[in-house]
Homo-oligomer: A and B are copies of this chain.
Amino acid sequence: MKRYEQLAADIAEGIRSGVLRPGDRLPSVRQASTSRGVSPTTVFEAYYLLEARGAIEARPRSGYYVRAPAAGGPAEPATSSPPEASTTVEISELVFEVLGAIRERDVVPLGSAFPSPALFPLDKLALHLSKAMRHLDPWQTVEDLTPGSESLRRLLALRYVVEGTAADPAEIVVTNGAMEALNLCLQAVTKPGDVVAVESPTFYASLQALERLNLKAVEVATHPRTGVDLASLAAVLERHPVKACWFMPNFQNPLGCLMPDENKRALVELLARHGVPLIEDDVYGELHFGPRRPPPAKAFDRAGLVMHCSSFSKCLAPGYRVGWVAAGRFAERIARLKLMTTLSAPVPSQQALVSYLQQGGYDRHLRRLRETLSSRQAIALRLIAKHFPKGTRTTRPDGGYFLWVELPAGVDALKLHRLALSQRISIAPGHLFSADRRFASCVRLNIGHPDDPRFERAMKTLGQLAGSLVPA
């Protein structure tokens, strides 16, 4: 981590812990430079970064101040309060109807699940792909079959260990993206009719997976900043024969919430007491704005009950279709399911990643990517404050590239979706994120398209359209 990042991280931690409060004045650049023993440029860069992230604000001729969340932008949504009953899921038709039409290039992709492909080092990856495949031992095409390339699994295990999570190459199964990993996990631990706990709101793909496998969903109250509410989860576990949880402790889709480490530990312990496996979707974990990669829940797992799923699709190599699961005690079952359904992950993609991870500069790329997304979020928050109707609330996650925007009561996000699409702007209406189509006034916005010159105008248009839907 660079010096200015360290300084910014320390200040952010101060704000988080309450040592610095909204309205507090930060030390002047000169003071900070002297007391930290760094150059004034470093301090400027740190302050600039924090400003871009919306944590502090410059007041002309006065200096930098810790920003008051309420005053500095839209308020945050409240913790969700899902129904107590479990429910069958019928959401797929709606998901395909809404998201099917929005892959055209002339649509501003605020509803997309993917960040801009221009954010990724695709040319560099192509070089590693060429190098790795040019003199491939033909037998590698057999040996890279499921559970996957041994070199890749070793490199993945190494990253876990470096980040403080115990993981063994032998428990890792390479998959066709995280989507396959998550689906295989779900299949490995459930049978039709079983109940699975999900967050509220939750990623629509988890609902689609439940629907496909004839599983029932029970939703758990989720805080927009700290994620799954553990007391609610404990109650759910008492009331329902839950066979698995599918959660995203890091930068959840759509809320962007990040479970504090202690909550993750408590979550894992609670589930272990009930013998319930955790399917952990961690595809955004690398996209943290803070100084350190938040650990996965898997870091606290002692019982082998956590299946940690991730991929390179959102942070490095879209389209390569390489994901994985570190599956603990379920590894063999999952490998077998994969052999029966898709046999293996693609060898060229696996080999390219092995080469890139060894020599490509992954961490450098990630640092740049995080900075980009963090500053794009700040811009998006400002645009919402400026253009969206009064009473709009929004999350301000510490990572990822989604904002969850709660529009004033009475605004129908599906109507907004249709209006926006007629202006060639896509959004993901809140209806997609629960089994019973709650969150009807919410939308998920993708802010991860910095190369799209239409973004600002689209946000303005969207705000105006939303305003036109506010009941008089």
What residues of chain A have their CB less than 8 Å away from a CB belonging to chain B? 92, 96, 103, 105, 114, 116-118, 120, 122-123, 125-127, 129-130, 133-136, 138-145, 175-177, 179-180, 183, 192, 205, 208-209, 212, 214, 318-321, 336-337, 339-349, 352
Contact = CB atoms under 8 A, between A and B. Distances in A.
Contacts of A340: 92, 179, 183, 205, 208-209, 212
11 contacts: A103-B143, A117-B142, A142-B318, A145-B319, A176-B321, A180-B341, A208-B340, A209-B341, A320-B348, A321-B344, A321-B347
Nearest to A104: B143
Contact of A138 (B120, B140, B208, B321): B120
A320 B336 contact: no
A435 to B, nearest CB: 15
Contacts of A336: 92, 96
A126 B130 contact: yes
Q: How many copies does the complex hold?
A: 2
A154 to B, nearest CB: 18
B117 A342 contact: no
Nearest to A132: B126
Contacts of A342: 175-177, 179-180, 183, 321, 342
B129 A141 contact: no
Contact of A352 (B177, B320, B348): B348
A105 B133 CA distance: 20
A343 B179 contact: yes
A443 to B, nearest CB: 21
Given A342-B180, A342-B342, A142 B114 contact: yes
Contacts of A344: 177, 319, 321
A66 to B, nearest CB: 38
B341 A319 contact: no
A192 B341 CA distance: 16
A343 B318 contact: no
A129 to B, nearest CB: 6
Nearest to A183: B341
Contacts of A319: 140-142, 144-145, 344, 346-348
Contacts of A123: 134-135
A337 B126 contact: no
Contacts of A141: 117, 122, 318-319
A401 B458 CA distance: 58
A126 B117 contact: no
A125 B346 CA distance: 14
Contacts of A96: 336, 339
A177 B343 contact: yes
